[in-house]
Amino acid sequence: MEDSKRKDAIEQFYLKYGFSTRCLHAGEKVGQPKSKAHTNAIFQTSTFVFDSAEEGAELFAQKKEGFIYTRMGNPTVMVAESKMNALEGRDLKLADPENVRISSLIYASGMAATSGLSFALLHPGDTLLRGEVLYGSTDHFFVNVLPKFGVKTVIVNTGKLEEVEKSIKANPAAKMIFLETPTNPLLELTDIAEVCKIVKRVSPECVVAVDNTFATPYLQQPLTLGADVVMHSTTKYLSGHGTIVGGALITRHDKIKDALYGTMKDVGGCPSPFDCWLLNLGIKTLPIRMDRHCASAMVVAEYLEKHPKISKVFYPGLKSFPQYELAKKQMKGFGGMISFDLKGGYKAATTLLNHVHVISLAVSLGCVDSLIQHPASMTHASMSPEARAHSGITDGLVRLSVGIEEPEDILKDLEDALKLC
């Protein structure tokens, strides 16, 4: 077992390297101090053996560092934590290595991360400000679960800075603001740096949490832009191969990390070591996958924008996208997600979905291969028709997660299916 000083020193060592190098090497030595294996082993174990009764007592009393039980820590999970520290928090840490501590916790799912964050930070009577458009289950959790614990939630359109200002002024005691950018499925953006400034000016203690799943740390780093917590569904781009369901939280505050750790210990939501091993493997290729996702999505978006059967394409990289300038300012690339509206409505959308061959008809996103789905009848089916209409999720809207196949094969697949729409 590493002591935390050695772990910190190893993490520190890799900070000087570029993003791709950190994806490959950060954390690897943390999880496997003694082995000479080139790749990390999977510590698929629920518990750890103590050398003596006295050692067990010392570990429980936190007089000694070491692994006890996998819900409270595991070497394979620790590799993933170190990688996320190095990817999301590197610039902050590098600017002030003595005083900044970045911590990550890995979860069994993105929802375990979001619920863990909420259970750790919110108490009965607290107010949570939440983005208007959020991932479906995040929305359900805030609407259906948190009120059971006496937490009041207030919806705010975080894409409009004047609304954020109005909302935080009306709720100056709000404990947290949780937002997603780009949003699902219409890719609306929130100016993270500006939201942080506005919120902190009124209420310095209000925690700004950003779901960074769609962008990944390769394209956008909310902590560097002023956020307190970053949340990920590692199910998507970070693991990248559609093999796991997982989540992560990254924070720059020890107090928040301690609260998260305590909650995981007592509530659960810890990940499987094998899933973390797959996550660690996926992260190694994140930058080259994202470059390809971004480049191919641009080609596909431009093609769809010119197609006569499509009325509108939502992609932050298109000049026609209302927040194109914000995307350029805040993100290193425009991502791999596209939504588009078919003129033929529901019938055309389902025809398209039923006639693609390279692209898989499935929800989820951020896979190496392309996935297509119909938000109104699938991911966003539980919203009321009025709420969907208000959010711009029409019956003709299709969401495409552009994979890393040959871009011309994706285009041909769409072209052939669109002929039937």
Ligand X SMILES: *Cc1c(COP(=O)(O)O)cnc(C)c1O
Provide, rounded to whole angstroms, the least separation between the CB of residue 226 and ligand X: 20
Rank residues 109 and 190 by Cβ distance to ligand X and give the closer one: 109
Rank residues 276 and 417 by Cβ distance to ligand X and give the closer one: 276
Provide, rounded to whole angstroms, the least separation between the CB of residue 410 and ligand X: 21
Provide, rounded to whole angstroms, the least separation between the CB of residue 337 and ligand X: 9
19's tokens: 């993003």
User: Taking each helix axis from N to C terminus, what angle separates 286-306 and 273-284, rounded to the nearest 10 degrees?
Assistant: 70
Contact 359, 372 (CB under 8 A): yes
Rank residues 235 and 323 by Cβ distance to ligand X and give the closer one: 235
User: Taking each helix axis from N to C terminus, what angle separates 345-354 and 407-418, rounded to the nearest 10 degrees?
Assistant: 130
Rank residues 10 and 219 by Cβ distance to ligand X and give the closer one: 219
Provide, rounded to whole angstroms, the least separation between the CB of residue 93 and ligand X: 25
Contact 192, 210 (CB under 8 A): yes
Examine the residue annotation and report whether 395 is marked as an active-site residue of this protein.
no
Catalytic residue among 64, 71, 101, 160: 71
Rank residues 137 and 350 by Cβ distance to ligand X and give the closer one: 137
Answer whether the bond into residue 385 is a cis peptide, omega within 30°. no
What phi, psi does 104 have (nearest 5°)? -130, 150
SS3 content of the chain, % helix, strand, coil (to 5): 45, 15, 45
Binding site for ligand X (CB under 6 A): 109-111, 135, 137-138, 180, 184, 211, 213-214, 233, 235-236, 245, 247
Provide, rounded to whole angstroms, the least separation between the CB of residue 276 and ligand X: 14
Examine the residue annotation and report whether 409 is marked as an active-site residue of this protein.
no
How far apart are alpha carbons 30 and 14 in whole angstroms? 11
Answer whether the bond into residue 273 is a cis peptide, omega within 30°. no
Examine the residue annotation and report whether 289 is marked as an active-site residue of this protein.
no
Catalytic residue among 175, 236, 257, 332: 236
Catalytic residue among 135, 218, 237, 315: 135
Report the residue closest to ligand X, judged by CB. Answer: 110
Contact 353, 376 (CB under 8 A): no
Examine the residue annotation and report whether 275 is marked as an active-site residue of this protein.
no
- Active-site positions? 71, 135, 211, 236
